Chains A and B, each alone.
Chain A
């Protein structure tokens, strides 16, 4: 099993462009989430989902949209990229309802110029 996969690994966007970061997991996890990692700030939660059709905002949701049409996939959309969105993005998944650890994807390094 592949675990959590993310594509692309790297992306460069111009200000104002839009794009979708893909995330998929094959562990049948109900919970999926997106984080951004910036130096000295740890990981900050952007959006999360507790199951297909259910999403909610995290700590830093502005400028990002998500949807969850299947258990496996949880794409993150940047509507109009800004330089402040330059970051490394991680998708993670886990089971719900107990002290389960999250499994992380390898990350997408995004640069917005």
Chain B
């Protein structure tokens, strides 16, 4: 079965330190990969995506993500965390073989907490 895993329910980081939120996937073919962020009581907001090409993708709010095909991972990173980055982060995968529009498979989510 196709799946996306975010192995950490929670990540705690001090403000100013680098952060990493991990994501691995088990999907056939070469999927499109996405990161979304959800602030409390809000909908999900798109952060960045990987389609093809350079393994390091840059997105909104200073976030970037590193694609590793051999490890089937797509980890979200930021060089210097802000308290305002505290939120719930979701990794999502869209298998390219789907002819069903934008169907996404989501990970369970990782709660990021950045302390001053």
Q: Mark A residues whose CB is within 8 Å of B.
A: 4, 30-31, 33, 35, 40-45, 48, 50, 56, 58, 90, 92, 94-97, 99-107
Contact = CB atoms under 8 A, between A and B. Distances in A.
Contacts of A106: 42-43
A27 to B, nearest CB: 12
Contacts of B77: none
Interface string B23-65: 0000000001010100001111110010100000000000000
Contacts of A35: 106
Interface stretch (B12-20, B68-76, B79-87, B96-104): B96-104
Contacts of A100: 102
Main secondary structure of the interface of B (DSSP, over half): loop
B101 A30 contact: yes
Contacts of A45: 103-104
B100 A90 contact: no
Given A41-B108, A43-B106, A31 B43 contact: no
12 contacts: A4-B43, A43-B106, A90-B44, A95-B102, A97-B101, A100-B102, A102-B44, A102-B102, A104-B36, A104-B45, A107-B41, A107-B42
A33 B103 contact: yes
Contact of B101 (A44, A48, A103, A107): A48
Given A99-B94, A103-B46, A104-B45, A50 B101 contact: yes
Contacts of A97: 101
Contacts of A30: 101
Given A41-B108, A90-B43, A104-B45, A99 B51 contact: yes
Nearest to B91: A42
A58 B108 CA distance: 17
